[in-house]
C-alpha cells in the first residue's frame, strides 16, 4: 500500500576537475528522476545523454510501473540510435541511464550501464542496481576486488548502454521504501572517487538533500574529480518517519518545547485549582461535637491532594443535659457557617458545664 508522503529532492551535476565539458545529464521531474552519463566524447556524449533524458521524460509513466519505465528506457535507446543515424551527434555515441519513479513509498528503478541507484535506510546503504561494466563482471566472477576495480585500466568500459543495440533492455527493480529512506542516483564520477562508506557518511551527516549533494560532489572533486559527477537525492518523508532515525533535530526540539509547554499549562491549572480551594476553605467554618466538647474548625471537611482543608479553632465543654432538642439534633450533624466568627458565636452560645 502506498502511503502518501512528502518528498524533498535535489539534482546536481558537476563537470569535475579534469574534463572540459559535462557529458552527464540529470532529471528531476517528480515523480520521475534520472541520471544519464554520456559516452562518445565531445559533441556526442552530452547529446546522447540529453536525448535519453528528454525521451525518458516524454515516455515515462507517472505511476511506479517498472515495466512501463523499462519501455520508456527502450524508447530512449531507439531515439539515441536514430539521432546518430540521422547525423545528430556522432555514430557510436551512447549513454547510461538510471531512472526512478518515486510515488510515496513505492519506488521503481530502471537501469542501463554503470550509473547507480542506492537505498539509504538508517545506518545502511544498499546498492539497488548492478553495474553493467567489465570490472563489475570481473568482481562478480571473483577475479577482481572492489578496490582493484577503482584503478583497473578498463574501469570505464561498460557492457550495456543506450545507443548501440536496438534490442537492448533495462534492468528494473521495485523497492518498498519507508518514510525516512533516501534514494540516491549517481554517475560513476561519484562512485569512482568515493567508496560506499564515504558516500553513506556524507548522506548521514547532511540531512538537507541539497547540502548532502553538494558535499558529495565536493568530496569527489577533492578525491580527483576525474569524471563528470552527477547526484540525484530523493528523500521519502512522512509522519511515520518520526522515530525511524531520520527525524530532524528541529522536529525533536519542537516536540520537547511543546511537551514542556503543556506541562507548564497543566501545572498552572493545578495550582489555580489548589489556590481557589484553599481560599474557599479559609472563608468557611464548621462545628463538630467531639465527645462533650463542641469544636470549631475553620475550613471545610476533607482533603485536596492529601492536604487537609480544615484547621482546628476554639472548643468548649458543653452541658449536653440542658441542650434543647433542636440544639441536640443540630450538633449530631456537622454544622456549617459562612464565616469563622459566626461559628465561634454559636459555640459560645451553648450551655457549658462551668456555667452557673
Of the pair 181, 188, the CB lying nearest Mg ion is at: 188
Min. distance of Cβ 131 from Mg ion in angstroms?
12
Helix 209-222 to helix 196-205 angle (10° resolution) is 140
- Cell 572492489 locates to 146
CB-nearer residue toward Mg ion: 21 or 345:
21
Hey, which bits of the chain come out as E strands? 6-14, 24-29, 32-39, 94-95, 97-103, 106-112, 116-121, 124-127, 171-176, 182-186, 229-237, 285-290, 293-304, 307-317, 335-337
Q: Closer to Mg ion by CB, 73 or 309: give it.
A: 73
Q: Are 61 and 72 in contact (CB under 8 A)?
A: yes
We find the least distance from the C-beta atom of residue 114 to Mg ion, in angstroms, to be 8
Output the nine-digit C-alpha cell for 106.
513505492
Contacts to Mg ion by CB under 5 A = 37, 187-189, 227
Phi, psi for 278 (deg, rounded to 5): -65, -45
Least Cβ distance, residue 38 to Mg ion (angstroms):
8
In the complex, the smallest distance separating the C-beta of residue 70 from Mg ion, rounded to whole angstroms, is: 22
Look up cell 476553605; give the residue. 281
Instruction: Kindly tell me which of 50 and 187 has the beta carbon lying closer to Mg ion.
Output: 187
Question: Is 130 or 208 the residue whose CB approaches Mg ion more closely?
Answer: 130
Measure the CA dihedral 339/342/344/350, to 10°. Answer: -150
* Pick 13 or 187: Cβ nearer Mg ion: 187
- Residue (101 or 232) nearer to Mg ion, CB: 232
Instruction: Please state the closest distance from residue 227 (CB atom) to Mg ion, in A.
Output: 4
DSSP character for 137? H
Spatial neighbors of 211 by CB under 8 A, at least 6 apart, are none
- Least distance (Å) between residue 185 CB and Mg ion: 13
Our CA angle for 283, 285, 288, nearest 5°, is 165
Whether 286 and 262 have beta carbons less than 8 Å apart is answered as no
- The CB density around residue 256, as the number of other CB atoms within 10 Å, is 10
Shortest distance in whole angstroms from residue 252 CB to Mg ion: 39
Amino acid at each position: 500500500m502506498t502511503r502518501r508522503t512528502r518528498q524533498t529532492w535535489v539534482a546536481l551535476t558537476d563537470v569535475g576537475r579534469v574534463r572540459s565539458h559535462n557529458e552527464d545529464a540529470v532529471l528531476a521531474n517528480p515523480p520521475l528522476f534520472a541520471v544519464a552519463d554520456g559516452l562518445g566524447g565531445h559533441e556526442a556524449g552530452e547529446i546522447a545523454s540529453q536525448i535519453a533524458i528528454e525521451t525518458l521524460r516524454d515516455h515515462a509513466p507517472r505511476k511506479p510501473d517498472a515495466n512501463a519505465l523499462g519501455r520508456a528506457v527502450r524508447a530512449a535507446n531507439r531515439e539515441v540510435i536514430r539521432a546518430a543515424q540521422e547525423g545528430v551527434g556522432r555514430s557510436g555515441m551512447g549513454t547510461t541511464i538510471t531512472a526512478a519513479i518515486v510515488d510515496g513509498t513505492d519506488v521503481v528503478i530502471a537501469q542501463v550501464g554503470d550509473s547507480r541507484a542506492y537505498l539509504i535506510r538508517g545506518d545502511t546503504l544498499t546498492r539497488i542496481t548492478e553495474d553493467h561494466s567489465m570490472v563489475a563482471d570481473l568482481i562478480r566472477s571473483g577475479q577482481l576486488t572492489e578496490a582493484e576495480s577503482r584503478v583497473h585500466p578498463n574501469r570505464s568500459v561498460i557492457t550495456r548502454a543506450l545507443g548501440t543495440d536496438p534490442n537492448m533492455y533495462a534492468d528494473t527493480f521495485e523497492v518498498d521504501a519507508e518514510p525516512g529512506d533516501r534514494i540516491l542516483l549517481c554517475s560513476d564520477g561519484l562512485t569512482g572517487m568515493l567508496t560506499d562508506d564515504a558516500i553513506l557518511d556524507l548522506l548521514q551527516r547532511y540531512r538537507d538533500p541539497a547540502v548532502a549533494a553538494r558535499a558529495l560532489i565536493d568530496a569527489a572533486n577533492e578525491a580527483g574529480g576525474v569524471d563528470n559527477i552527477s547526484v540525484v537525492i530523493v528523500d521519502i518523508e512522512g509522519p511515520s518517519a518520526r522515530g525511524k532515525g531520520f527525524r530532524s533535530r528541529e522536529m525533536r526540539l519542537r516536540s520537547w518545547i511543546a511537551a514542556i509547554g503543556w506541562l507548564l499549562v497543566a501545572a498552572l491549572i493545578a495550582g489555580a485549582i489548589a489556590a481557589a480551594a484553599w481560599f474557599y476553605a479559609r472563608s468557611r467554618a464548621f462545628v463538630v461535637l467531639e465527645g462533650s466538647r463542641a469544636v470549631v474548625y475553620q475550613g471545610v471537611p476533607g482533603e485536596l491532594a492529601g492536604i487537609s482543608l480544615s484547621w482546628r479553632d476554639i472548643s468548649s465543654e458543653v452541658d449536653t443535659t440542658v441542650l434543647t432538642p433542636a440544639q441536640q439534633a443540630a450538633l449530631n450533624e456537622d454544622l456549617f457557617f459562612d464565616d469563622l466568627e459566626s461559628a465561634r458565636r454559636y459555640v459560645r452560645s451553648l450551655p457549658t458545664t462551668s456555667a452557673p
